[in-house]
Structures are given as structure tokens and as C-alpha cells.
């Protein structure tokens, strides 16, 4: 029989097409056969699995021959986006995925399972969680365990214990970190809080740190005034892993809403570290504008508000009495020091007597903060204590701080202690006295200021000359003229500028008047 040329070419084309199709499908078919051979249609994991996860460890109810493939890639090689709705067929297909404990699965491989965890029925979610938990605890491949932990974050509330086990005991760092990160997404519950406390003792420092900050967030997100605050004290008192500082930051960020918790710890905690941290939080939460700060702003012609900046709120006085009580009575010098600092921030006149008594504290740090605090607190009630501290305190920095606070006492009674401070052994104290004397326009203060023009310390002479120039008193002109010959260019220049401000430089030296 004769075969036509057309038939011959059709036969060749058909054979080529069949060959092309078979060669293209072969790798995919072989991979599928390998997967099915490694994960037979049973729900049991191999006996050598390190953790016994139960009879439902791997959800695999697919009839023989069902595909174990992951979703097809799009044109760019990326996995197609997850659907917004879940059909029964999609859910069943996702749960029928065969798993191989020795295969490296990327997180994207579990896209169908993530979809079920988001949108499936309770029964479907349970089966998928069991599959992922089995991989997390039993897979021999770190990448697979990490991917399973990541996908479990979608519905972490039901997998708190497996994630905790992985965070504490997995040999690979990437798995431990992913497991503790996934716990961040679990809903608040006693089980979660207990798990986070256990993870807060892990050997891995990153696991500990994440567990601590997660516990803080979970507890603070549900905190209400009147709740138990022992956990706040526990975390504020823990210096390991920077827990105390992290807790302070979170309290300060939440502000007045958690102020009662910080105050309660300040007043009741047995741990001095917790009380000092709580005092810090109270101080920062309550800080705001005070009468003295307004006065400083006006004197320096500073603008409290600028374009684009919100006006500061007034100080929150809910923290005033707790801080005053802490300064007066707390057994820890650290707590007393922070309380003194906080009272300075609040700037209320009622704090002056307490800060004055704190100037006699046995610890230098407390006395220093008390002296600084009285600069921003209306402090006439503490004038005697300030005068004593400025003259007799053994600490140079306390004497200098007391002198500066004396300058802001609205009373002429502060002049004599300031004059006495001009003979202090410390140049820093004498310089402070020179600057503060300029606030009092009296013959005695002027005389003491001019006497400092001869001080052996250059910075003291400069401060005295500048202060005299601010007063613009005619009595100082001869001394300022002489100061222009000072060997220090800094002092001589200050004297020249002081005379210019007084209109004297133009007469004597031909300089233009500077007003």
C-alpha cells in the first residue's frame, strides 16, 4: 500500500508532539511519585520522630492519586495570591497536601494551608494546625520547621504550646526566633502569658528579649486601673536583657492610662530597682510645663510653641504626692534621687520644703538632684537649706547647684549666701555665684561681682564681667575699663562689649554704641 507524503508528515508531527509532551511531564511525574512514596496515605508520622504528636499529626485524607503540588507560579515565578474566599474543594485540596519530614519547604509552599487557617472551618483549621505542628516539632529540616512556625502565626492562639517548645528547645536559631515571633500574634490568655514567662528564661538571648517585650505588650494592652501590678514590678525590677528599661519605655509611651500602675509599684514594691524604675516612669509621664518653666521661657525670650510643634501640656499632678512621699520616706537612695528629679520637673511650690530637707540627705546624688530641682520649684521655703548647702556641702557640684537655685529665689535674702559663695574654694561655685548675683541689683551684690574681676580663674572673671554688663550700672565702668586690659582675650572682649552696651565705648574708644 502506498503512503502519501501528507500522511507521512502528519505521523512525524504527531510523534514529535507526543515526545515533547512526555519529556515535559516526566520530571513532574517523577517528583510526584517521590513525594507519594515518602509520605504514604496514612496519618502517622515515622516512629523515629523526636516528638510524639498524636494520631492526627499529619492531615492526609486524600484519595490515592491526589496531587501534592503547591499552587502554580504566575508569569513572574511568584505564587498566586491567596483567595479571599474558601470553597470546600479548596479547603480539601489544601488539607490533602502530602508532607515529607526530610524535604525543605519554603513558607510560600504552605500558602494553601495559611488560607485554611484564615478562612476554613474549625475542623479544617484543627487539621491544618496538626499538620504544621507535626512539621514544626518533627521535621528533620530546619527550613521546614521555620516555615511551619511562620505559617502558624496566622492562627497562633491554638498553637501556643508547640511554638513555645520550638522557641525553647529547637537546635536551630532561625527556628527558635521564628517560633517566638509567631507567638506575638496569639490572643491574650493565661496560657500565652505562662508560655511567655517560660520563654523569658530561655538560653537564647533573642528569644528572651522577644518574650519579655511581647509579655509587656500583651499585659499592657489589657491593663485597667485597679488590676494587679505585681507583673509590672517584676518586669521593672529585672535588669537582665534590658527588661526594666524596656518596661519603662512602654509605660511612658502609654502615658496617663498606665500611670496608676507605675504609682502602685512606686508605693508598694519590695524591690528597690522596681521602685526606682517606677519613679522614673512616673516622672516622665507627669512632666510638663510648670510656672517656673514659663518664667524661664519669658526671661530668655524663648517661644514655647513654634510652627509645626504642639504646645506642651501642663504637668500631670497625679504623680506629685507619690514622688514627694518617695523622696521623704523611701529607703533606697536611687528612688529618692529620681523622686527629687521628678519633683523638679513638676515644679510645684508644695515640694520646696521636702526638697530642702533632701539637701541634708546622706547620699550626694540625692542632695544634687534636690538642689537642681529647687531651681525650677518656687523655693523661698527652702532658702535656709539652700544657703547651708551652698556654703557647707562637701560636694562641689551640690554647692554649685545650690548657688544656681539661690539665684532663682525671689527674695533679697538670697544675696548674702551668694556673696559668701564668691569666696568658695571651687571655681565652678564662684562662677555660678557671679552669674546669679546679676539677678539682684544691690550695692552689695555689685561690689562682690566686681571683686571677681580679679579672680585667678579666667572663667570666673569672664562670668563676672558679663554679669556686670547685664546690670549696666555706672559704678562698674572704671572696673570694666581696667578689665579691657585683662591678659585673657575672652575677658577683655567681654569687658569691651559690656561698655558698648552701656554707651561708654564710643566716647572713650571710638566704638559704635551697641544697644
Residue 73 — pLDDT band, cuts 50, 70, 90? very low
Say whether pTM exceeds 0.85.
Answer: no
Kindly state the cell numbers that stand for 164.
513555645
Residue 306 — pLDDT band, cuts 50, 70, 90? low
Nearest CA among 107, 26, 113 for reference residue 68: 113
Say how many C-beta atoms besides its own lie within 10 A of residue 422's C-beta: 22
* Between 289 and 208, the higher pLDDT residue: 208
pLDDT at 456 (0 to 100): 96
Kindly state the cell numbers that stand for 211.
518574650
Residue 111 — pLDDT band, cuts 50, 70, 90? confident
pLDDT digits (tens, 9 = 90+) for 81-91: 445 556 676 66
Give the DSSP letter of residue 62.
P
pLDDT digits (tens, 9 = 90+) for 31-64: 344 434 333 333 333 333 333 333 333 333 333 3
Q: Residue 42 is inside which H or E element, if any?
A: none
| DSSP states along 405-466 | HHTTSSSGGGHHHHHHHTT-S-HHHHHHHHHHHTT---HHHHHHHHHGGG-SSHHHHHHHHH
Lowest-confidence pick of 301-305, 344-348, 354-358: 301-305
Is the pLDDT score of 363 beyond 90?
yes
* Between 1 and 90, the higher pLDDT residue: 90
pLDDT at 298 (0 to 100): 61
Average pLDDT rounded to a whole number, residues 289-293: 75
Question: In the chain, where are the structural domains located?
Answer: 1-38, 42-63+82-182, 287-410
Question: Cβ(485)–Cβ(492) under 8 Å?
Answer: yes
pLDDT digits (tens, 9 = 90+) for 333-351: 999 999 999 999 999 999 9
Lowest-confidence pick of 257-266, 361-370, 475-484, 500-509: 500-509
pLDDT at 310 (0 to 100): 56
pLDDT at 507 (0 to 100): 45
How far apart, in whole angstroms, are the C-alpha atoms of residue 375 and residue 409?
A: 8
In the chain, pLDDT over 90 holds for what percent of residues? 63
Residue 386 — pLDDT band, cuts 50, 70, 90? very high
pLDDT at 14 (0 to 100): 43
pLDDT at 301 (0 to 100): 52
Question: Cβ(402)–Cβ(368) under 8 Å?
Answer: no
What class has domain 287-410? mainly alpha
pLDDT digits (tens, 9 = 90+) for 392-441: 999 999 999 999 999 999 899 999 999 999 999 999 999 999 999 988 88
pLDDT at 119 (0 to 100): 86
pLDDT digits (tens, 9 = 90+) for 164-213: 999 999 999 999 999 999 999 999 999 999 999 999 999 999 999 999 99
pLDDT at 231 (0 to 100): 96
Is the pLDDT score of 72 beyond 80?
no
* Cβ-based neighbours of 16, under 8 Å, separated by 6 or more: none
Is the pLDDT score of 254 beyond 80?
yes
Average pLDDT rounded to a whole number, residues 133-142: 95
Question: Cβ(388)–Cβ(359) under 8 Å?
Answer: yes
Residue 245 — pLDDT band, cuts 50, 70, 90? very high
Residue 476 — pLDDT band, cuts 50, 70, 90? confident
Is the pLDDT score of 2 beyond 60?
no
Kindly state the cell numbers that stand for 168.
525553647
Amino acid at each position: 500500500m502506498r503512503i502519501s507524503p501528507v500522511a507521512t508528515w502528519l505521523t512525524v508531527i504527531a510523534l514529535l508532539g507526543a515526545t515533547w509532551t512526555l519529556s515535559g511531564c516526566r520530571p513532574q511525574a517523577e517528583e510526584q511519585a517521590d513525594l507519594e512514596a515518602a509520605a504514604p496515605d496514612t496519618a502517622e508520622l515515622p516512629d523515629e520522630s523526636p516528638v510524639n504528636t498524636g494520631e492526627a499529626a499529619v492531615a492526609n485524607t486524600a484519595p490515592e492519586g491526589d496531587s501534592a503540588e503547591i499552587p502554580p507560579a504566575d508569569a513572574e515565578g511568584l505564587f498566586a495570591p491567596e483567595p479571599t474566599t474558601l470553597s470546600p474543594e479548596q479547603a480539601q485540596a489544601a488539607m490533602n497536601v502530602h508532607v515529607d519530614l526530610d524535604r525543605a519547604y519554603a513558607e510560600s509552599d504552605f500558602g494553601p494551608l495559611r488560607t485554611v487557617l484564615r478562612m476554613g472551618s474549625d475542623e479544617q483549621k484543627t487539621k491544618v494546625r496538626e499538620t504544621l505542628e507535626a512539621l514544626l516539632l518533627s521535621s528533620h529540616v530546619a527550613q521546614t520547621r521555620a516555615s511551619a512556625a511562620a505559617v502558624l502565626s496566622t492562627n497562633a492562639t491554638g498553637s501556643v504550646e508547640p511554638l513555645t517548645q520550638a522557641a525553647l528547645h529547637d537546635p536551630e536559631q532561625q527556628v527558635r526566633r521564628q517560633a517566638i515571633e509567631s507567638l506575638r500574634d496569639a490572643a491574650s490568655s493565661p496560657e500565652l502569658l505562662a508560655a511567655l514567662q517560660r520563654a523569658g528564661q530561655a538560653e537564647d538571648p533573642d528569644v528572651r528579649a522577644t518574650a519579655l517585650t511581647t509579655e509587656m505588650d500583651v499585659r499592657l494592652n489589657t491593663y485597667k486601673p485597679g488590676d494587679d501590678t505585681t507583673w509590672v514590678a517584676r518586669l521593672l525590677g529585672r535588669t537582665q536583657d534590658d527588661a526594666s528599661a524596656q518596661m519603662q519605655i512602654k509605660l511612658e509611651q502609654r502615658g496617663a492610662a498606665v500611670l496608676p500602675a507605675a504609682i502602685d509599684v512606686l508605693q508598694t514594691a519590695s524591690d528597690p530597682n522596681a521602685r526606682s524604675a517606677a519613679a522614673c516612669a512616673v516622672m516622665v509621664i507627669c512632666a510638663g510645663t510648670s510656672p517656673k518653666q514659663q518664667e524661664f521661657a519669658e526671661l530668655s525670650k524663648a517661644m514655647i510653641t513654634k510652627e509645626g510643634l504642639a504646645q506642651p501640656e501642663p504637668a500631670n499632678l497625679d504623680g506629685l504626692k507619690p514622688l514627694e512621699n518617695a523622696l521623704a520616706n523611701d529607703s533606697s537612695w536611687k528612688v529618692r534621687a529620681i523622686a527629687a528629679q521628678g519633683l523638679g520637673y513638676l515644679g510645684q511650690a508644695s515640694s520646696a520644703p521636702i526638697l530642702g530637707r533632701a539637701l541634708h540627705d546622706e547620699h550626694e546624688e540625692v542632695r544634687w538632684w534636690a538642689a537642681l530641682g529647687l531651681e525650677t520649684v518656687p523655693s523661698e521655703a527652702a532658702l535656709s537649706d539652700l544657703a547651708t548647702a551652698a556654703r557647707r556641702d562637701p560636694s562641689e557640684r551640690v554647692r554649685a547647684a545650690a548657688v544656681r537655685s539661690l539665684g532663682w529665689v525671689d527674695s533679697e535674702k538670697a544675696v548674702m549666701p551668694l556673696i559668701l559663695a564668691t569666696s568658695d574654694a571651687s571655681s565652678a561655685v564662684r562662677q555660678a555665684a557671679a552669674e546669679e548675683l546679676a539677678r539682684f541689683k544691690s550695692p552689695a551684690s555689685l561690689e562682690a561681682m566686681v571683686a571677681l574681676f580679679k579672680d585667678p580663674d579666667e572663667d570666673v572673671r569672664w562670668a563676672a564681667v558679663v554679669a556686670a554688663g547685664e546690670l549696666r550700672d555706672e559704678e562698674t565702668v572704671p572696673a570694666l575699663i581696667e578689665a579691657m586690659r585683662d591678659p585673657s582675650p575672652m575677658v577683655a572682649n567681654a569687658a569691651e562689649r559690656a561698655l558698648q552696651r552701656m554707651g561708654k565705648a564710643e566716647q572713650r574708644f571710638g566704638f559704635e554704641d551697641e544697644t
